[in-house]
Structure 1
């Protein structure tokens, strides 16, 4: 049996365990990675490599910084301020949360944006007496949508532009993605405020109550509130500047260390602030995603879809098919890997039928950012999993509709802005 087939079988079993939640999500993910190592698909030394991944380190650091905001009472204070102006309306808060997140994600890391805003949003929900589960998934979705707006908002955009340039075509401009990114963001916000919110879980999260109890203990320490706020602001600024000397994970860990050293929270409280389910779920999926790419499982799926389109498919069929394929792969595979895999295929097919590849490449890149239907599709989704108290099917229910909305909007707008046969 080929490594690609083995990988697909393991992925299928893991997906089934995710959906049924017969065993905890983190154990299913780590079990999949271990299985691939034992079966020889990936080197046994890479089974736990996900635990050293920079994104996992980023998660841990931001969880601690978020914890310091709760222990000092800063999150509560910020929540009271936002609620004062935005009100306690669920839709009003969701609009504000998604708008701010999308704007920030357009010019900075969507993972960093989600990590930085998450503790603030939980504080707002505590004040507004709204379960965090009603706002954290919209936060993660808005981060994904906002990243589409600019060239640097998310890696797939850069890869698509680079693939066009390498093939001798005019690459996408910095703000060219806004033609599709802004409509998708608006459509996504409307969907979540009027349809998606009805698919989100309605529950009281025990962690919220624990947080409130902890805040009552330390709320009278304005000095530590300021320190905690300055640490968060400094980390966000460093992340926004995208300094090569200080990567996101380094900024997060430095912030976490400073939070402990300055007494914003104790060492044991810092450890308690980290959501270990999120850490192990993401770490477990990293080797599985790598196996999808290296074993050829992803390419096998792509070849099947391409062959199914026939010899001379219409440009619209190609665009729609590759959008669906890219979107499907990115639910369990790195969006960077999905785009890198499909970009040359899209250019080749477009050239074969005499059409401009720009629409096809834009569809592939946009679809790779539509990883809304699983908690492992993109780091922002994974980051809110534990704090939001979500289950795998919560993402399927709320995220699948958003994926469909993005597909419809993209298929309408992309050919209008990037014609298949430009004059």
Structure 2
């Protein structure tokens, strides 16, 4: 078996080098290994592909879909909005709430996805609160990694270790088996970051925008000077009236472009329809456009209808960008709109969008936009639901999409379906916790229900799956089998035991944690778990001890990837926006990895006895 072992180890070393260099891509390396391992004669081609039929691979894919549904329905963004409202400009409070929320969400969906969601939220908070983004993004990445220590399905390494336990005939970990370890480590991380934040980002960092934002357009078209926000008092005569019956546009020149309804997390931004009925405490966003330069006494209108004027700024438009967006459209020479006004063209009726700004050439139209005849080459600034903007983007004859604001990337297409998504997630968790059905079956049921309630469509579901991660796991799984058959796992276990000869079991756990964490500096934490899980179980067998403390130590160490920007995709994502250097991660990450090691060695034997 020694020649075959050397071949397998040679492939392993080659894989580690390619992973460290990131050439070729990790998933390509995994495919190379699936092709090369059967050539050693240790495993067959069908065994090299066995990961494709592993239930845990299907479970991970389903969790990607569930996570995407939470994004598309705005569940994650609403928590971000709540964070902004509760924390205000207090940096300490922001760090605490940010880490708790991110860890909580990450315990049920991809930590990489959570970080991708929260980076723009954190950058916006940073700009508004005048806090350097680097002081917030490192806590964000650390909390996302710790979320993997909270539940079984939080991260792929947990599922890999769980699968290795069941493959060797042991009972796997329960859904919340990780929680008693993850919560104390999260608390330690919060305290640690409150003290360590002073060593990050000495100056403010502004995230560069790839294109203009809504606030830029508000200034460019002078919207904040022309738009008004009016609150309906309980005794307002407008309450209970349909918009088509009021016909404010024709009678007064008032164009209602949006209706705010509700407060806090229940706040909604509605696009006005002819059949829309006004309610008490509604807030109307109006665009005052009078024909022929006629003066209109807006103050008298406010008094007569018992309204309150609320402040309006470009920031308001930006903060509502998850509900309703903007787009610049150009009028081509073939357009049927030419020569007609916005009102005559029944623009809002046909396109479900309001025209709130117009440019003829490079100059914005200062007078009434909706009564201005449209010419070829005019630029129209439209305002309305993102779904209507996306639908209109396919138009080519009458309008051509010129530009979308940077906030378009944060839009939520299914915000009104958030309760369904949250309810389905709760159902999936209950099924997993109580073991009513296998975890993978519960997750697949959740995906079907999310599709049934239109929280996600098939195209978005397929796009949400991080195929690179799945192929990486599939390609690395045969390695553990090959190492076991050639005696590599036993040799690794013997080497670890020899290094800790006669030492207490806790010292063995500490060594196992350190080896796993160091290996994670060079290859992904998923690949690390694939390689170290069988070693941990072999060490437990050699010591005649329970396999669970050793398996748990590997899982926790795999999630402790705080030390370099390449240890995890989570770190890579925040490195640029946070303006972090390699040494920033070493300076902050290494001490906390040591803290995690100490906490693990103390807690694991108490909760999972040897």
Deviations 1:363-388 (A, max 9, x none): 7753552113669xxxxx98968987
TM-score of the pair, normalised by structure 2 = 0.48
5+ long unaligned stretches in structure 2? 125-132, 153-157, 166-175, 211-321, 323-403, 577-581
**Counterpart residue number, 1:172:** none
Instruction: Quote the Cα distance in structure 2 between the aligned partners of 1:364 and 1:273.
Output: 30
**Counterpart residue number, 1:78:** 79
Contact 1:278-1:386 at 8 Å conserved across structures:
no
Higher helix residue share: 1
Contact 2:149-2:178 at 8 Å conserved across structures:
no
Query: 1:299-314 maps to which residues of 2 (within 5 A)?
Result: 299-309=490-500
Paired residues in the alignment total 370
**Counterpart residue number, 2:594:** 404
Instruction: Quote the Cα distance in structure 2 between the aligned partners of 1:176 and 1:383.
Output: 25
CA RMSD of aligned residues (A): 5.0
Query: 1:5-404 maps to which residues of 2 (within 5 A)?
Result: 5-87=6-88, 92=93, 95-96=96-97, 98-99=99-100, 113-115=107-109, 122-129=116-123, 134=138, 137-146=141-150, 184-191=185-192, 213=408, 216=411, 218=413, 222=416, 224-243=417-436, 245=437, 247-309=438-500, 320-321=510-511, 323-325=513-515, 332-334=528-530, 336-347=533-544, 365-372=552-559, 401-404=591-594
Contact 2:8-2:37 at 8 Å conserved across structures:
yes
Higher RCO (C-alpha under 8 Å, 6+ residues apart): 1
TM-aligned CA deviation for residue 361 of structure 1: 8.5
Instruction: Quote the Cα distance in structure 2 between the aligned partners of 1:33 and 1:361.
Output: 29
CA separation of 1:325/1:181 partners in 2, compared to 1, >3 Å: closer, same or farther?
same
* Secondary structure, counterpart of 1:218 in structure 2: coil
Deviations 1:198-256 (A, max 9, x none): 799x98899x999952653636x52x22222222222233233333x2x2222222222
5+ long unaligned stretches in structure 1? 105-111, 149-153, 161-174, 348-356, 376-380, 419-423
TM-aligned CA deviation for residue 277 of structure 1: 1.7
TM-score of the pair, normalised by structure 1 = 0.66
Contact 1:116-1:232 at 8 Å conserved across structures:
no
